[in-house]
Structure 1
Amino acid sequence: MKKFILSISLLIISLATVSAQDNNYKGNYKGTDTKAAGVVNNHENIVTEDINQFKNTPEVFQHDKEQLQTTLTGGIPMGRWNEGLMFDGIAPSDHFVSAANWYPNTETVKEDEIRIIFMGSSPLIRPGQANTSILMQFGNGKNLVFDIGEGAVANFVGAGIALNEINDIFITHLHVDHYGSLPYVYMFGAWNGRWNEPLRVNGPSGSEPKYGTAHMVEGMKSMTEWHRDAFDVFPIGRGWEIEVNEFDFTDDGGVIYDVDGIQVTHWQQSHCKDGASAYRVEWNGMSIVFSGDGRPNKLTAKYGANADVLITEMQVEVVNITSQVYGVPPVLTRYTIDTHHNPAYAAGKLYNDSQPRLAMATHTTDDLYANNEMVAEVREHWDGPFHFGFDGVVVNVSKEKIWVRDGILPDYPNATPPQQGTMVADNGGLIIPEPRKKREDMQNQYIRDMQYDESEYYPEGYQPELMETWPSDKPIFVPTEKIPSSMKRRRADFDEQGNFIKTK
């Protein structure tokens, strides 16, 4: 073994010596120093400064049009970048940092596009998948949220969305896996910067008032009484206010939102109980449709027709296998699908009847045993573009192109500072409200006296000045130019000089 290693070492030394001696190589490229462009034909030592002299010289650089065309377009069949069974218009855009992945806070939504981010996608919450939630970001700077299921907030944070930016929420129906994160957004969005605007929630009515969105919100406010009172020692301002737009769930095709050129219409979904809805979002000549949960129905085919992106829920029909995977009796799975949900075969028919530019499925578990089965079932009826909308999936939509990527969401992200653009007052600044309460208003003196004195736990030489009372007894006004740049980075709110350019 030692002899073998010694032989290899001698061979390497020998080759290095030959290379050092053979200095007359006249090949197609030979760099001579850091500025060298290399050897081009017989012109040795062409450096960067010489390129302008030689680039138009046919003897030096290629000028034959046929060879140039072949070289520059080789591998692009029929003038298209794609090949095989890919579809026209399903293509990445030039402004992407990566065509394979989306990285938070690296790309601005272009003025003529919509970006969709799936923040949750599973009916059964688990570490790899949150409950259903979809963020739609528009080129005019607006964000709309469709459903806000349990666990989805973690993906919003990972995607670089500030807590106070999670607003204008549209709930499809009142199953907990579609609104379970609403209390968290309500509480912590107000604590983290939603000081000067209310939380805005849209959702359907029910067959009785107690089954409607407004009643659910009132119940949430009752449930969070202790939390809200405790947080009143912080600047909250209007953060505890909620504007509820409860629309008549039977008003198929009714417009429930029309702001800044974005229009949202709704219709009924067949989801076992009255009060489930689907949505169509239209902006700038484009449309995104989200069916929410529900059995396949002709209303969604009607109102979802020719959408740019049609997003449905989807369930795989391998009930016996699923029962073994999830420990659910087969009869319970079968009964749940047949009364509440959209089988993959039916989704394929719905896509074919609606003819979207891109069909997508969400509210389904991301499982290796099931995904290919669902694709095969969809293909029974639909042979157009299709993707799954699992957690972190990002879709960029323009009139010319649609492209789907995996979002690279970190497991332990730094939270995004609250963004203040939509809340800057017309007088050119931000108001930080005064807290409504102090600790002594809600906590007895006895338990405060039981606290350790800070001298008992801080080391010698380290004695921070404790802040046990909010430092200002009046609201604080911050002029626009004084707002930290990290809090006003959204393109639609401020110009490059940090001047406020858009009121809500």
Structure 2
Amino acid sequence: MTQEDQQPNQSSNKNSQGRRNFLKGSAAAVGAGLAASVPGVASAADSDCEMKNPYGPRPGGGISLPDYYKPWPAIKNRNVFLPGTEILPKNEMRISFLGSTPWPPTRLQSGTSILVELGNGESQPRRFFFDLGNGSISNAIAMQVPAPLINDIFISHLHSDHYADLPYFYPFRAFSGGYTPLRVYGPSGRTPELGINHMIKHMKEMNRWHEENFNSCPIGDGMNIEVTEFDWKEENGICYDKDGVTVRHWPRSHVKDGASAYRLDWEDAGLSFVWTGDGRPDELSAKYGKGVDVFVSEGTIDVPQLSSMKLGAPAELWEYTIDIFHTMYYASGYLFKQTQPRMAAICHYEYAGPALEAESTAEVRSNWYGLFMFAGPDVQVINVTKDAIWSREALLPDGAAPASMDPRWLLKPGEKLPAEIKLPTPRLPREMQQEQFLRDLEIDPKKYYPPDAYRKPVQKWPGITLNPREMLEARGIKVDDDQ
């Protein structure tokens, strides 16, 4: 091939190289243009970051974390919460998010429920439950909260995702040794039929067959529910005030009258907690949440266009739903900014997956730069003292058994351990609520028991008396004579 024959190729190579350089230059120019026109995308010319830690400079300590975000000796495992391994000290509060979503429930999120525990240095702290959504009881059981000791339940409003586990739970609480009445608190409605009193009354009617059936067992007064219904209109009203703990409430805008927020103040420890319940961002939550230690808001991501693309429903439907029912993340951040909590959290939200975690956080950060976390997936745990705050996720087995029975659960507060405890006598033995012919149709147990395993059925209440000291010693628990 002659030199002349090669020239076109050389010319072609030069032209090709020129085109590549042109395209590279164009791409750089376009990139610079995008950086200049898209908010939040910095170009090389303006790369100096202006964000500051609101708690003061912390080189190597993060841009939103305060000095008080740190563990302390009572935190036995700094990375996960292991139920049953930590005695909650006096003057320490622990908040566990037993459920964190409205809809749909997933394997990561149950219906909304928040457990607030106040430490007393004993194995069973003082407990308060804010809402009891679908599936949350399974997490409470896995957290080794004894079913008989689940009490003082504050319902924010009567959407079923906030109380769905209540009709399921209360008969089994009695069946499991909760022989004292269950205490439930909640708002009235515009009419009596729309308040919590009416709901509880008809819930018990719905469960009548269940209640009578379980009355064949020792249940004491465990099926009784003591309802405290407060005026939904009342601002900063008191619905609980006992032994240094006060719970206040105020109304929220959630389409229908009868939705409430709560604030718990623990006088002895000087600690406080707010749960807004559901509703639109409002002035009362900003007012009565000021200075709280932990402020928990509901929240929803505000991306109706993307939601439409992902789930198919029109964007206008998403906008309408958000704008009459809920608090978007932008507004949650705004409420945090107004109230200035030591820790802010969002519960009652739909986990949007890894792709939208950054967007979700960015919407909150548009107004709030301080300590913050999402309260899911279940179960997230926050420990709080006057000096420090620490958060972890609970490590729960999928098939956790309930906490082992402790005879001290059956005692009144401050009551000394007696020599014996007699279980309540069943009120409706089965012969009082079942036709004889059904019992006659039961197969003789000798036909299905192996001879070496056969035992005579116990079908008449034998009368059961517990020896509490013996039960505790069998578990390696020593009890002083004066206890």
Could you say whether these structures have the same fold, taking a TM-score greater than 0.5 normalized by the shorter chain as the test? Answer: yes
Paired amino acid for 2:427: R
Partner in structure 1 of residue 166 of structure 2: 182
Aligned to 2:262: 279
Taking structure 1 as reference, are residues 456 and 431 closer, same or farther at Cα in structure 2, changes over 3 Å only? closer
1:105 Cα deviation from its structure 2 partner = 0.4
CA distance in 2, matches of 1:170, 1:329: 35
3-state DSSP class of the match of 1:148?
coil
In structure 1, C-alpha distance between the alignment counterparts of 2:470 and 2:425, rounded to whole Å = 19
Match of 2:22 in 1: none
In the aligned structure 2, how far is the partner of 1:151 from the partner of 1:90?
30
* Cα shift readout 1:150-202 (whole Å, capped 9, x = no counterpart): 1101100111111112110000000000000001221100000111x100000
The question of whether the paired residues in 2 share the 8 Å contact of 1:119 and 1:152 is answered with yes
2:442 is aligned, of 443, 447, 451, to 451
**Cα distance change, pair 81–380 in 1 and its aligned pair in 2 (3 A):** closer
The number of equivalent residue pairs is 414
Distance of 2:231 and 2:343 partners within structure 1:
29
* Cα drift, residue 323 of structure 1: 3.9
Which runs of no fewer than 5 residues in structure 2 stay unpaired?
A: 1-55
* SS of structure 1 residue aligned to 2:131: strand
Does the CA-based 8 Å contact 1:164-1:419 persist in structure 2?
no
In 2, distance between residues paired with 1:498 and 1:329?
67
- Of 389, 395, 411, which aligns to 2:382? 395
Q: Do structure 1's residue 362 and structure 2's residue 353 form an aligned pair?
A: no
Using the TM superposition, give the Cα deviation of residue 95 of structure 1 relative to its aligned residue in structure 2, in angstroms.
2.0
1:335 matched to which residue of 2?
320
Which deviates further from its counterpart, 84-93 or 352-361?
Answer: 84-93
Q: Is the 8 A contact 2:113 2:132 kept in 1?
A: yes
- The question of whether the paired residues in 2 share the 8 Å contact of 1:289 and 1:309 is answered with yes
CA contact (8 A) 1:294 1:342 kept: yes
Structure 2 contact 148–409 (Cα < 8 Å) conserved: no
Q: Which amino acid aligns with 1:150?
A: N
Is the 8 Å Cα contact of residues 421 and 488 (structure 1) preserved in structure 2? no
Q: Decide which of 189, 199, 204 is 1:216's aligned counterpart.
A: 199
> Quick one: distance in 2 between partners of 1:456 and 1:190?
34
CA distance in 2, matches of 1:254, 1:486: 47
8 Å Cα contact 1:488-1:498 kept in structure 2: no
Task: Determine the C-alpha separation between the residues in 1 that align with 2:162 and 2:173.
Answer: 18
Determine the C-alpha separation between the residues in 1 that align with 2:394 and 2:111.
Answer: 17
**Structure 1 residues 348 and 266, CA gap change in structure 2 (3 angstroms):** same
1:479 positional shift? 5.7
For 2:170 and 2:314, the matched residues in 1 are separated by 37
Aligned residue for 2:285?
A: 300
Which of structure 1's runs of 4+ aligned residues deviate more than 6 A? 78-82, 486-489
Equivalent residue for 2:397? 410
Distance 1:440 1:488 in 2: 40
Gaps in structure 1 of 5+ consecutive residues? 1-77, 490-495
- Counterpart of 1:424 (choices 407, 411, 419) is 411
Aligned residue number for residue 434 of structure 1: 425
Which residue of structure 2 aligns with residue 29 of structure 1? none
Alignment check: 8 A CA contact 1:200 1:243 kept: yes
Q: Report how far residue 324 of structure 1 moved.
A: 4.7
* TM-score of the pair, normalised by structure 1: 0.78
Equivalence for 2:190? 207
Percent identity, aligned pairs only, is 39
Match of 2:460 among 469, 477, 498: 469
How far apart are 1:252 and its partner, in Å? Answer: 0.6
Task: Determine helix, strand or coil for the equivalent of 1:484.
Answer: helix
Look up the equivalent residue of 2:66 and give its one-letter code. Answer: F
Cα separation, partners in 2 of 1:393 and 1:291, compared to 1, 3 Å: same
Match of 2:92 among 113, 133, 142: 113
Give the equivalent residue in structure 2 for 1:4.
Answer: none
Aligned-partner Cα distance in 1 for 2:161–2:327: 16
- 1:334/1:79 CA distance change after superposition, 3 Å: closer
- The structure 2 residue matched to 1:128, chosen from 100, 108, 132, is 108
